[in-house]
Amino acid sequence: MDFQTKLLNSIRQIPNFPQDGVLFYDITTLLNDKDMFNELILHLKERYEKQNIDFIAGIESRGFIFGAALASELKKGFVPIRKAGKLPYTTISQHYALEYGTAKIEMHIDAFRDIKNPRVLLIDDLIATGGTAIASTKLIKQLNAQLVEACFIIDLVGLGGTKALSKECKIYSVLSL
């Protein structure tokens, strides 16, 4: 069985959650499968280890899991991108559209320390419509960082997020569904 098939098989699929007509991809089964989770992180390490990345930025909350594990493997710094009001120091923020209304995410103003033009990888578990990812790319660029790529474990292609995000940066998705 190839890597992508094994990865997909390690993710529980729950129909009609959180509402009718939605197929939810539950990554908790991937996270507690030590062999598959390790294989995924090593796959990502192999992809990014020669790209001179300075930081990995993870989108709250599941991007923290993959981003921190990959940052540890690559021996790079990890930067959290959080929902508004969750970071204790001075932040920059970016609004993005939700189905009904807007939301805001934030980063610390010194997230990339004193590195000039840092090279940053953005990571999250899944891309759907792309709103949060696009807002995250804007935050990263606002701090004068070079966004190397946005990485997702799952791309829900039919929801158009990668098409919208591709105007901002390069994208890599492990699974396209």
Return the minimum-mean-pLDDT range out of 15-19, 41-45, 172-176. 15-19
Q: What CA–CA distance (Å, rounded) separates 14 from 59?
A: 23
Q: What CA–CA distance (Å, rounded) separates 113 from 97?
A: 29
In a domain, 38, yes or no: no
Residue 18, preceding bond cis, omega within 30 degrees?
yes
| pLDDT tens figures, 90-130 | 999 999 987 778 999 999 999 999 899 999 999 999 999 99
Mean pLDDT over all residues of the chain? 96
What would the two tokens of residue 102 be?
Answer: 């807007």
What is the CATH classification number for the domain harbouring 135?
A: 3.40.50.2020
Q: What's the structural domain count of the chain?
A: 1
In a domain, 135, yes or no: yes
Q: What CA–CA distance (Å, rounded) separates 168 from 88?
A: 28
| pLDDT tens figures, 77-98 | 999 999 999 999 999 999 998 7
In a domain, 75, yes or no: yes
- Residue numbers of the domain that contains 160: 51-176
Contact 173, 152 (CB under 8 A): yes
Residue type (1 letter), 33: D
In a domain, 136, yes or no: yes
In a domain, 35, yes or no: no
